[in-house]
Structure 1
Amino acid sequence: MLSLLFALLDRFLVPAPDQARVGWLRGVSYAHRGLHGAGVPENSPSAFALAIERGMGIECDVQRTADGQAVVFHDWDLDRLTAETGPVIERRADALAKIQLTGSSDCIPTLRTFLDSVAGRAPLLIELKSKREIRVAPLCLAVRRGLEGYRGPVAVMSFDPRVCRWFGRHSPHVVHGLVVTEEGKRTLLATLKLHFAFWQARPQFLAWDVRDLPSKFAAAHRKRGFPVLTWTVRSAELAARAADCADGPIAEGAGVGA
């Protein structure tokens, strides 16, 4: 009875997306943080160029800078991926653009620089990095400004349902999705949290943790017309699971081309 109630609420609160707007997401293999590896750092211009050469889509991460711009970088701090230290959000975009990524001559790209380099040659997934204690509007605004005038296929997504909801309200022309991990939890409390996040986000697609597939929730909404992508596909075994349960893998390492 409870599952039926959830299904009814899902349909009422989160309408199925317009297939003409989201169909391009399907049937694409996305390079997780670009096609990175030895000598090619993640989220680097070189990794993005290799993904384009391979005919793949690109998944990348963005954060806000001290001067309200969006840069392509995964970690909250600079320590792991550069010779610098400290939070990304405390640096200006022009300063970050001069910081080299470890093991490469590439520097941290702004979102606008990244988009200009891709120029519509690959489908893009842009993950907005967020924390509960940080307001999402400034980051969402920075990303929206970066996307202005861009003509290629692009979608934004986040674990934070507030991000997805913001784009649905303030920039509905941008395709927006919810990133989900169940962390193996299938309890009633976990199910409630999942549905509440879905209702708050009102996404147009889902990006699901491959470790949690198959998932009844993902399968039900995939049947309704929501594209389901899956991350992070790192092996042939996970690639086979992605092919069975999702519409496109977000892959790296041995999962690319498996």
Structure 2
Amino acid sequence: MPAALHPDFLRLPVAHRAWHDRAAGRPENSRAAIRAAVAAGYAIEIDLQPSAENRPMVFHDYDLKRLTGRPGKINAFTADELAATRLIDAEDGIPSFAEVLEIVAGRVPLLVEIKDQDGAMGPDTRGFEAEVAAALGTYAGPLAVMSFNPHAVAAFHAARPDIAVGLTTSSYRPTDWVFLPAAACDALREIADYDRVGASFISHEHDDLARPRVAELKAAGAGILCWTIRSTEAEAAARMVAHNVTFEGYRALIPG
């Protein structure tokens, strides 16, 4: 039986890459954005990428340039080097997963996305999922793990079957996924790996929520989250299907 998603993931809006606002000094996936989300009472979505020694670091991109101004692939630098690499519009560097776990400390739900390490959603994920599982240790707060790559989800689930896992899912329009072969887009679009990987939820592209497969999974008891909502109007439309939203750029209301 797959581990169940904690009910607060279906109740508290999920701050995308934490509650970020660069103008306020809290860029995405930064310590400041994470602390702001905790203070506001939001659930938090973060991204994990590996350092050179395969340590999980909280960062979205494969390349450092957009968020730090420093060129180079994130996995070419050690965890210490990344910690010393200041995020643009922040006062500090890239946080490790272990540090973020200490900051959140179970006070709000934490939705963790493992970024694809294969390059084409394949099986060569370099053991990163085991490192993520090890970093969690005895963390006891509401937590769930997801990835676009079904192989990554399956590998994490094998390491920590006690933690809820899900698939980050999409319409997989070929124009949006130019690095993926059309056959891979076709296979991933149908969310065929849901049962195989031990999933209990999906986080689906919000403008594709009308897909019949989403309705089928919802009817079968899957938690339906969605990404990424950027207005109250889009949130209202998404909630016609999804149980909850991942949002950014506005202040989502927490149900009373």
TM norm structure 2: 0.86
**Superposition deviation, residue 183 in structure 1:** 4.0
Contact 1:22 1:204 in 2 (8 A): no
Question: Per the alignment, in what secondary structure is the counterpart of residue 215 of structure 2?
Answer: helix
Aligned: 1:119 with 2:115: no
Contact 2:133 2:159 in 1 (8 A): no
Question: Per the alignment, in what secondary structure is the counterpart of residue 102 of structure 1?
Answer: coil
Question: How big is each residue's C-alpha offset from its partner over 1:164-187, in whole Å with a ceiling of 9 and x where there is no partner?
Answer: 1112223211211100001469xx
Q: Which runs of 4+ in 1 moved over 2 A?
A: 21-25, 131-135, 167-170, 188-193, 195-202, 254-258
| 1:215-226 alignment, distance < 5 Å | 215-226=211-222
Provide the C-alpha distance between the structure 2 equivalents of 1:255 and 1:239, rounded to a whole number of angstroms.
Answer: 11
**Aligned pair partner of 1:175 in 160, 164, 170:** 164
- Which amino acid in the other structure matches residue 154 of structure 1? L
Provide the C-alpha distance between the structure 1 equivalents of 2:240 and 2:104, rounded to a whole number of angstroms.
Answer: 30
Contact 1:228 1:247 in 2 (8 A): yes
Contact 2:169 2:189 in 1 (8 A): no
- 2:227 is aligned to 231
- Which amino acid in the other structure matches residue 29 of structure 1? P
Provide the C-alpha distance between the structure 2 equivalents of 1:146 and 1:152, rounded to a whole number of angstroms.
Answer: 14
- 1:100 is aligned to 86
- Which amino acid in the other structure matches residue 73 of structure 1? F
- 1:257 is aligned to 253
Aligned: 1:59 with 2:41: no
- 2:96 is aligned to 110
Provide the C-alpha distance between the structure 1 equivalents of 2:187 and 2:31, rounded to a whole number of angstroms.
Answer: 39
Provide the C-alpha distance between the structure 2 equivalents of 1:69 and 1:127, rounded to a whole number of angstroms.
Answer: 15
**Aligned pair partner of 1:139 in 123, 128, 139:** 128
Do the aligned partners of residues 223 and 72 (structure 1) sit closer, same or farther apart at CA in structure 2, a change above 3 Å counting?
same
Structure 1: 5+ residue runs without aligned partners? 1-14
Do the aligned partners of residues 192 and 75 (structure 1) sit closer, same or farther apart at CA in structure 2, a change above 3 Å counting?
closer
Aligned: 1:161 with 2:188: no
* Cα root mean square deviation, aligned: 2.4
- Which amino acid in the other structure matches residue 190 of structure 2? L
Provide the C-alpha distance between the structure 1 equivalents of 2:57 and 2:129, rounded to a whole number of angstroms.
Answer: 12
**Superposition deviation, residue 255 in structure 1:** 6.4
**Aligned pair partner of 1:74 in 48, 60, 83:** 60
Contact 1:34 1:58 in 2 (8 A): yes
Provide the C-alpha distance between the structure 1 equivalents of 2:79 and 2:187, rounded to a whole number of angstroms.
Answer: 39
| Structure 1 or 2: more helix by fraction | 1
Do the aligned partners of residues 243 and 99 (structure 1) sit closer, same or farther apart at CA in structure 2, a change above 3 Å counting?
same
**Aligned pair partner of 2:193 in 181, 197, 207:** 197
TM norm structure 1: 0.86
Aligned: 1:31 with 2:15: yes
- Which amino acid in the other structure matches residue 141 of structure 2? G
Provide the C-alpha distance between the structure 2 equivalents of 1:137 and 1:174, rounded to a whole number of angstroms.
Answer: 21
Structure 2: 5+ residue runs without aligned partners? 175-182
Larger radius of gyration: 1
Alignment length (residue pairs):
241
Contact 1:210 1:232 in 2 (8 A): yes
Question: How big is each residue's C-alpha offset from its partner over 1:162-211, in whole Å with a ceiling of 9 and x where there is no partner?
Answer: 011112223211211100001469xx983785243335434121001001
Percent identity between matched residues is 33
Question: How big is each residue's C-alpha offset from its partner over 1:77-127, in whole Å with a ceiling of 9 and x where there is no partner?
Answer: 100000311000011111111111001102110000000011011100000
